[in-house]
């Protein structure tokens, strides 16, 4: 089989469809090459080789690909007219990682590989540019040292050991920028770097280009299992066996002087979705300089440059002279870049994120990918592309990453609170949103406070986990394409970058702005849409959901066949969910209503009652409260079905466990404290989740079911009198035998009949059941013969099928996932293989006897994308999820059809 794929000179062995094998970067380099975009020639070692490496180890894998790699290097040599390791006319290459999905900065890349003490001299002579040659050498040692030889900062307070050496030299020489180093400085740096590597790691820097190349290839494979990459994979649920590809590519040099440079650009705004070409570049720079924020990058377009200058409060004259856009500085190159961005966006039919390098007046494209974007940008771009005729409605729906919609539902700053806010500084609006939290300076301390804002000079891939935990990210350095900005947009996290007025001291853990000192733990707020940094806490408000968000929701409705209901226990949640487009309620838990102060007492009296008569009395008190709850919910869901579940949790959850409250209850009920205590201990169970709960309550205390039925039916009748249509569906929990259901059903129907007679009026209602005990799924035919509907309670069903207690599983599930025994938490993602069989079987058996049996799901899984998709395939009529998951489930439900 082929393990190495070549690209370059308008040809390629691979193409963009082969991302699983070539990684995203490799597949797109191949594709760009074949459609005539100028890409430096190179080759891609497949992701399969990475997997082979993990099994077989270094030596065997090198042996396996050696001849293919040698032949491919020869191919680059002939295209470039240079040769690898040659002293007079050297070929240098980059060795780049690239998994099938983009993981910005998560894995490692080495540039200028092939350098040594002799090659650098040859390169200097050939290009007649000694500064360039030594700058490239210096960079190579730095990257190779870090990536391959393990030169890392000693502790989190320390900076990169190479940076430290450079900072020292800059101080000594009284200069600020890397570009100000003299040739001698660069030579000294190379020398010092090599010594530092030797001292810290014991490695002598390899001089043989082939040794360098294999070292780098293996290091890229290793980076797939590095901490950063592993964390990123887990965060996104990407499996470990995907592996990374390795791309080896001829270097093009952006660091050859003032006619060279490098940059990053986006075909649309990744923060807002606006259709404007934008990006950043640096003259005389290489590789990650722009992203790492070593100098303040300049804007690609004139328009962007003007906007940026406005934010940074830079005068137009100063801007035009010191920070000109690429459009102004190199108009011909800009035009060419502008053409390519247009071609690439149309070719991929999605927003592109591109890397480019200008070598001595010639433009090269080094990467393109579908750009990471915020949730807001995602919906805007999808709908804009439809309006521009680039894609159709179905394709637009597929551009929606359901979970990212969540970002749009988060609170925003309250407009009036913002007016009063004390803005202490401004940075770049790198990723929109509103964030309030306490200052932390280190990523691994982000979880120190419930809400934290990570404040850094700049972020690096090591900070990923902390960035994910923090509510917002603030950096002093770096532009709109900096690491912090790109990662934050991908996470949908608020970020303000490049706020130059901030003086951050890691050692003292302080932030100084305008002479004012802030400490770790102080509150600050970030406005990611304006770049404002605000002192203290700013109040937030609910976001408005209109525009493109509403359009996406409408499109979802147009294509979805399965309905989305919500789980709501009160009118407020019901209204929120309805706003998000819920098409009914799939689960109202009645027990939550009992926990309110004035009700819990009546509930406790009911539980402590010794006789049926006493219990009925207590239930009488509860009746009007329940009835008015139901009226509120029915009204909020006017015209739509509302499923109400009868009392489910063990009674022990309702009784008081503290002495003081026990005393109070005893007094209220005129019984002894001992009597209360006895009852409490009587109700205690060894396995409450398998104990006296669900329909077992209603079957032992039928008067509870009676009262609840009465509350539901009377509420419905009351609304009917007011002209409001409601469709109650009464749901019996936790049945395992059909008898259990029958008994409850009989109580419900006879109670309803009594009320209909009393009121001389009727309403339509259904009586159905939860399927949440494995036995119920097995006996589904019998149960369906009686029940009007099934609702799969996949929380309990998962608990009982796996035999994992949901309340105790946090002790072992994380370890199981780490060890690979389970891929994901089955309480989060429905286990389609196992639990799914019961769901499928239950549905099929039920529909065998009752073809139009209504079937839904009401566990937490009802809002989880892969589980929703499963429910669609199983033929369910609806899923039900918490209000804030409703938009997500709606989109998935539409995507499932497409
Ligand atoms: P990442 O996946 O972290 O973006 P890349 O492999 O894309 O890493 O490379 C890092 C940086 O080096 C990018 O800015 C890229 O454009 C640059 N680069 C990679 N290969 C070359 C090359 N052959 N010539 C010039 N620059 C390169
Ligand atoms: Mg990188
Ligand atoms: Mg890149």
- Evaluated on CA atoms 437, 440, 444, 447, the torsion sign reads negative
Counting from 1 in the atom list of ligand 1, the atom nearest the Cα of 103 is: 2
- Evaluated on CA atoms 425, 429, 433, 437, the torsion sign reads negative
pLDDT of 291 above 90? no
Question: Token pair of 495, please?
Answer: 């970020």
Per-residue pLDDT tens over the stretch 180-227: 999 999 999 999 999 999 999 999 999 999 999 999 999 999 999 988
CB 359 within 8 A of CB 256: yes
Per-residue pLDDT tens over the stretch 59-109: 999 999 999 999 999 999 999 999 999 999 999 999 999 999 988 777 889
Find the mean pLDDT for residues 706-730: 97
- Ligand 1 binding pocket mutation candidate from 82, 93, 111 (most atoms within 8 A of CB): 111
Q: What is the distance in A from the centroid of ligand 1 to the CA of 288?
A: 7
pLDDT of 811 above 90? no
Q: Token match 């003007």: residue? A: 306
Nearest partner of 798 among 758, 827, 822, judged by Cα: 827
Counting from 1 in the atom list of ligand 1, the atom nearest the Cα of 98 is: 2
Go through the domains of the chain in sequence order and give each one's CATH number.
Answer: 4-250 (3.30.1490.20), 261-373 (3.30.470.20), 411-541 (3.50.30.10), 560-650+685-897 (3.20.20.60)
Q: What is the distance in A from the centroid of ligand 3 to the CA of 227?
A: 19
From atom 26 of ligand 1, which residue's Cα is the shortest distance away?
A: 287
Question: Token pair of 548, please?
Answer: 């493109």
Q: Is 795 annotated as a binding residue?
A: yes
Q: Is 357 annotated as a binding residue?
A: no
From atom 6 of ligand 1, which residue's Cα is the shortest distance away?
A: 96
Rg (CA), the chain: 32
pLDDT at 76: 97
Q: What is the pTM for the complete model shown?
A: 0.85
The continuous run of DSSP H or E covering 790 comes out as strand 789-792
pLDDT at 600: 86
Distance of alpha carbon 119 from alpha carbon 108, whole angstroms: 24
Phi-psi region of 692 (alpha: psi -120 to 50; beta: other; left: phi over 0): beta
DSSP one-letter code for 788: S
State the DSSP string of 207-272: --HHHHHHHHHHHHHHHTTSHHHHHHHHHHT--GGG-EEEEEEE---S-SSTT-EEEEEESS-TTT
Distance of alpha carbon 629 from alpha carbon 634, whole angstroms: 9
From atom 23 of ligand 1, which residue's Cα is the shortest distance away?
A: 251
Nearest partner of 100 among 180, 20, 200, 7, judged by Cα: 20
pLDDT at 368: 97
The continuous run of DSSP H or E covering 125 comes out as helix 117-127
Distance of alpha carbon 282 from alpha carbon 322, whole angstroms: 12
Per-residue pLDDT tens over the stretch 616-654: 999 999 999 999 999 999 999 999 999 999 999 988 888
Nearest partner of 616 among 683, 695, 706, judged by Cα: 706
Question: Token pair of 393, please?
Answer: 């409605």
Q: Where are the beta strands (DSSP E) in 360-411?
A: 362-370
**Is residue 858 flagged as an active site residue?**
yes
Q: What is the distance in A from the centroid of ligand 2 to the CA of 105?
A: 4
Nearest partner of 520 among 624, 423, 416, 448, judged by Cα: 448
- Ligand 1 binding pocket mutation candidate from 38, 100, 217, 287 (most atoms within 8 A of CB): 287
Distance of alpha carbon 387 from alpha carbon 342, whole angstroms: 17
Which has more confidence, 702 or 817?
Answer: 702
pLDDT of 598 above 80? no
Ligand that comes closest to the CA of residue 76: 1
Ligand that comes closest to the CA of residue 353: 3
From atom 1 of ligand 1, which residue's Cα is the shortest distance away?
A: 105
Q: Is 645 annotated as a binding residue?
A: yes
Counting from 1 in the atom list of ligand 1, the atom nearest the Cα of 355 is: 16
State the DSSP string of 458-482: S--GGGHHHHHHSSEEEESS--TTS
pLDDT at 287: 86
Which has more confidence, 374 or 344?
Answer: 344
Mapped to the 3 state alphabet, what secondary structure does 662-689 carry?
A: HHHHHHHHCCCHHHHHHHHHHHCCCCHH
Q: What is the distance in A from the centroid of ligand 1 to the CA of 133?
A: 18
- Evaluated on CA atoms 691, 693, 698, 704, the torsion sign reads positive
Per-residue pLDDT tens over the stretch 161-174: 999 999 999 999 99
Distance of alpha carbon 438 from alpha carbon 258, whole angstroms: 43
Ligand that comes closest to the CA of residue 103: 1
Q: Token match 């570049």: residue? A: 281
Which residues, other chains included, contact 278 with Cβ-Cβ below 8 Å and sequence gap of 6+?
Answer: 265, 266, 268, 269, 299, 300, 301, 304, 480
Q: Which is the catalytic residue, given 50, 695, 858, 881?
A: 858
φ/ψ of residue 582, rounded to 5: -60, 140
Helix (H, G, I), strand (E, B) or coil at 41: coil
CB 190 within 8 A of CB 162: no
Question: Token pair of 396, please?
Answer: 């637009």
Counting from 1 in the atom list of ligand 1, the atom nearest the Cα of 366 is: 16
Share of the chain above pLDDT 70, in %: 100
pLDDT of 595 above 80? no
Which residues, other chains included, contact 286 with Cβ-Cβ below 8 Å and sequence gap of 6+?
Answer: 111, 135, 136, 139, 253, 254, 255, 262, 357
Strands 298-299 and 244-250: unpaired
Counting from 1 in the atom list of ligand 1, the atom nearest the Cα of 252 is: 24
From atom 11 of ligand 1, which residue's Cα is the shortest distance away?
A: 287
Nearest partner of 446 among 426, 465, 427, judged by Cα: 465
**Is residue 347 flagged as an active site residue?**
no
Q: Is 589 annotated as a binding residue?
A: yes
Q: What is the distance in A from the centroid of ligand 2 to the CA of 110?
A: 8
Counting from 1 in the atom list of ligand 1, the atom nearest the Cα of 290 is: 14
Q: What is the distance in A from the centroid of ligand 3 to the CA of 366?
A: 8
Find the mean pLDDT for residues 360-366: 97
State the DSSP string of 521-580: T-EEEEETTTTEEEES---EEPPP--HHHHHHHHHHHHH--SEEEEE-SSHHHHHHHHHT
pLDDT band at 610 (very low <50, low <70, confident <90, very high): confident
Q: Other CB atoms closer than 10 Å to residue 717's CB: what's the count?
A: 18
Provide the H-helix boundaries in 237-363: 289-292, 302-311, 316-322, 326-329, 331-348
The average confidence (pLDDT) of the chain is 93
pLDDT at 135: 95
From atom 12 of ligand 1, which residue's Cα is the shortest distance away?
A: 287
Q: What is the distance in A from the centroid of ligand 1 to the CA of 246?
A: 12
Ligand that comes closest to the CA of residue 249: 1
Helix (H, G, I), strand (E, B) or coil at 726: coil
pLDDT of 732 above 90? yes
Q: Is 796 annotated as a binding residue?
A: yes
Nearest partner of 745 among 798, 689, 702, judged by Cα: 702
pLDDT of 803 above 90? yes
From atom 18 of ligand 1, which residue's Cα is the shortest distance away?
A: 287
Counting from 1 in the atom list of ligand 1, the atom nearest the Cα of 254 is: 25
Distance of alpha carbon 583 from alpha carbon 380, whole angstroms: 25
The alpha carbon torsion through 53, 57, 60, 65 (nearest 10 deg) reads 30
Q: Which is the catalytic residue, given 483, 494, 495, 871?
A: 483
- Evaluated on CA atoms 78, 100, 352, 459, the torsion sign reads negative
pLDDT at 294: 73
CB 510 within 8 A of CB 524: no
Q: Other CB atoms closer than 10 Å to residue 659's CB: what's the count?
A: 11
Question: Token pair of 890, please?
Answer: 């709606």
Distance of alpha carbon 51 from alpha carbon 699, whole angstroms: 57
Cα atoms found within 13 Å of the Cα of residue 469, Cβ hemisphere only: 20
pLDDT band at 442 (very low <50, low <70, confident <90, very high): very high
The set of protein residues with a Cβ atom below 6 angstroms from ligand 1 is: 40, 94, 96, 104-105, 109, 111, 249-252, 287-288, 355, 357, 366-367
The ipTM, to two decimals, is 0.97
Ligand that comes closest to the CA of residue 247: 1
From atom 20 of ligand 1, which residue's Cα is the shortest distance away?
A: 94
pLDDT of 599 above 90? no
Q: What is the distance in A from the centroid of ligand 2 to the CA of 476?
A: 21
Distance of alpha carbon 224 from alpha carbon 228, whole angstroms: 9
Which residues, other chains included, contact 107 with Cβ-Cβ below 8 Å and sequence gap of 6+?
Answer: 97, 98, 99, 220, 223, 224, 226, 228, 229, 244
């Amino acid at each position: 089989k082929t393990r190495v794929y070549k690209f370059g000179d308008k040809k390629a062995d691979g193409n963009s469809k082969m991302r699983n094998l070539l990684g995203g970067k490799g597949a797109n380099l191949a594709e760009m090459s074949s459609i005539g975009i100028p890409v430096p020639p190179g080759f891609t070692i497949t992701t399969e080789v990475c997997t082979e490496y993990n099994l077989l180890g270094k030596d065997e894998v090198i042996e396996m690909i050696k001849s293919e790699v040698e032949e491919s290097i020869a191919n680059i040599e002939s295209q470039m007219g240079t040769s690898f390791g040659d002293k007079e006319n050297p070929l240098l290459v980059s060795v780049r990682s690239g998994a099938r999905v983009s993981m910005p900065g998560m894995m490692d890349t080495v540039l200028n590989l092939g350098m040594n003490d002799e090659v650098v001299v040859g390169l200097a002579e050939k290009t007649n540019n000694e500064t360039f040659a030594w700058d490239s050498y210096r960079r190579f040692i730095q990257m190779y040292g870090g990536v391959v030889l393990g030169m890392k900062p000693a502790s989190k307070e320390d900076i990169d050991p190479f940076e430290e050496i450079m900072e020292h030299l800059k101080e000594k020489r009284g200069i600020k920028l890397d570009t100000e180093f003299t040739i001698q400085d660069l030579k000294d740096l190379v020398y010092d770097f090599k010594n530092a590597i030797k001292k810290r790691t014991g490695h002598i820097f390899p001089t043989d280009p082939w040794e360098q190349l294999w070292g780098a290839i293996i290091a890229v494979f290793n980076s797939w299992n590095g901490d950063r990459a592993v964390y990123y994979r887990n965060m996104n649920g990407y499996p470990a066996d995907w592996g990374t590809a390795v791309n080896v590519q001829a270097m093009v040099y952006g660091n050859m002087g003032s006619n060279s440079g490098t940059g990053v650009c986006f075909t649309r705004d990744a923060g807002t979705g606006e259709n404007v070409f934008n990006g950043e570049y640096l003259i005389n720079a290489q590789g990650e300089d722009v992203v790492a924020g070593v100098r303040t990058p300049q804007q690609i377009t004139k328009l962007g440059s003007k906007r940026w200058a406005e934010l940074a409060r830079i005068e137009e004259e100063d801007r035009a002279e010191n920070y000109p856009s690429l459009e102004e500085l190199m108009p011909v190159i800009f035009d060419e870049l502008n053409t390519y961005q247009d071609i690439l966006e149309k070719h991929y039919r999605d927003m592109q994120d591109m890397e480019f390098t200008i070598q001595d007046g010639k433009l090269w494209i080094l990467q393109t990918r579908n750009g990471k974007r915020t949730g807001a940008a995602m919906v805007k771009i999808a709908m804009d592309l439809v309006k521009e005729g680039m894609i159709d409605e179905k394709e637009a729906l597929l551009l929606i990453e359901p979970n990212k919609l969540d970002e749009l539902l988060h609170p925003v700053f309250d407009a009036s609170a913002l007016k009063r806010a004390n803005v202490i500084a401004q940075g770049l609006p790198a990723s929109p949103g509103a964030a309030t939290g306490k200052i932390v300076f280190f990523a691994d301390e982000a979880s120190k406070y419930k809400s934290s804002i990570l404040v850094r000079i700049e972020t690096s891939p090591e900070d990923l986990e902390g960035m994910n935990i923090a509510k917002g990210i603030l950096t002093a350095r770096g532009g709109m394409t900096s690491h912090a900005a790109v990662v934050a947009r991908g996470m949908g996290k608020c970020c303000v970058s490049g706020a130059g007025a901030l003086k951050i001291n890691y050692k003292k853990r302080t932030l100084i702005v305008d002479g004012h000192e802030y400490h770790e733990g102080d509150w600050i707020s970030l406005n990611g849409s304006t770049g404002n940094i605000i002192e203290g806490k700013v109040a937030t408000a609910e976001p408005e959901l209109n525009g493109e968000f509403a359009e996406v929701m409408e499109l979802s409705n147009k294509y979805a066949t399965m309905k989305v209901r919500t789980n709501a226990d009160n009118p407020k949640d019901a209204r929120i969910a309805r706003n998000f487009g819920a098409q009914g309620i799939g689960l109202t838990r009645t027990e939550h209503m009992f926990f309110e102060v004035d009700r819990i007492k009546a509930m406790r009296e009911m539980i402590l009652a010794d006789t049926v008569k006493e219990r009925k009395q207590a239930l009488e008190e509860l009746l009007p409260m329940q009835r008015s709850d139901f009226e509120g919910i029915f009204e909020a869901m006017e015209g739509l079905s509302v499923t109400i579940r009868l009392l489910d949790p063990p009674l022990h959850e309702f009784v008081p466990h503290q002495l003081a409250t026990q005393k109070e209850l005893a007094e209220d009920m005129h019984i002894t404290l001992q009597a209360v205590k006895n009852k409490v201990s009587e109700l205690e169970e060894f396995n409450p989740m398998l104990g006296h709960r669900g329909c077992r309550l209603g079957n032992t205390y039928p008067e509870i079911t009676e009262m609840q039925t009465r509350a539901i039916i009377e509420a419905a009748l009351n609304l009917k009198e007011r002209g409001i249509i409601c469709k109650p569906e009464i749901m019996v929990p936790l049945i395992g035998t059909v008898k259990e259901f029958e008994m409850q059903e009989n109580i419900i129907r006879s109670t309803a009949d009594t009320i209909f007679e009393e009121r001389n009026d009727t309403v339509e209602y259904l009586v159905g059941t939860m399927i949440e005990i494995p036995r119920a799924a097995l006996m589904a035919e019998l149960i369906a013969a009686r029940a009007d509907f099934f609702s799969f309670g996949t929380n309990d069903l998962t608990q009982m099928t796996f035999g994992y207690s949901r309340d105790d599983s946090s002790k072992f599930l994380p370890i199981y996932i780490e060890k690979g025994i389970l891929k994901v938490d089955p309480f989060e993602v429905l286990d389609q293989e196992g639990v799914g069989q019961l769901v499928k079987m239950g549905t099929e058996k039920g529909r065998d006897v009752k073809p139009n049996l209504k079937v839904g799901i009401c566990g937490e899984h009802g809002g989880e994308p892969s589980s929703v998709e499963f429910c669609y395939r199983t033929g369910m009529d609806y899923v039900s999820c918490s209000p804030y998951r409703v938009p997500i489930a709606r989109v998935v439900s539409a995507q499932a059809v497409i």
